[in-house]
Chain A
């Protein structure tokens, strides 16, 4: 049974560019959350989606956006990239927002140069 899958695993972008990160949750999981982890720190919450609706948003600028598709996969978009956006972006899925723990993917390592 596949876990949470994220793509790509690594990418390098230039300041000002746009990036799209993708996540497929565990089969049957309808909730997807996104976290940003800067080197040496704990993950910070960005978004949560459940049944294609946004259920939570962290303290991130409007350059960050996300959506969830009918098959419950999700995309995280970041516009006008800054050097400070360099981080490991983690996706987590759960059965529903409230009932169970979260299962994380291996993350996408984004480097902005």
Chain B
């Protein structure tokens, strides 16, 4: 059974810092990995999607990497801003016939002005 873990569970940083969020998964047989952002009480906003054959994806100040063999992904946020404050979730999709996403518990990020 796939298990996804995100560390740390919560993180508080001053504005302007570069930071890294971690995601690990137990079964390396994945089809892709997706990072989401969730604001309090809201739905999920997709940030980056990395296919299993890719090593990284970039969008603006965000960079996500994937090391499938070691079961790890990182989300790098450059020059953090207060507007980045949210919960960040990673989710993996298996490469077998299953279509469900397995989510980690999320990292709650607070960027202080």
Contact = CB atoms under 8 A, between A and B. Distances in A.
Contacts of A100: 49
A43 B105 CA distance: 8
Given A90-B44, A107-B43, A109-B41, A45 B100 contact: yes
A42 B89 contact: yes
Contacts of B98: 56
Interface residues of A, number: 30
A44 B105 CA distance: 10
Contacts, number: 63
Interface string B81-94: 00000000101000
B79 interface: no
Contacts of B41: 88, 109
A37 to B, nearest CB: 8
B4 A42 contact: yes
Which secondary structure dominates chain B's binding surface? strand
Interface string A36-63: 0000111111001010000110100000
B104 A105 contact: no
B46 A103 contact: yes
B91 to A, nearest CB: 8
Interface of A: 4, 6, 31, 33, 35, 40-45, 48, 50, 55-56, 58, 88, 90, 92, 97-98, 100-107, 109
18 contacts: A4-B43, A33-B100, A40-B105, A41-B106, A42-B103, A42-B104, A42-B105, A43-B91, A45-B100, A48-B99, A48-B100, A92-B101, A97-B99, A100-B49, A101-B46, A101-B49, A102-B34, A104-B45
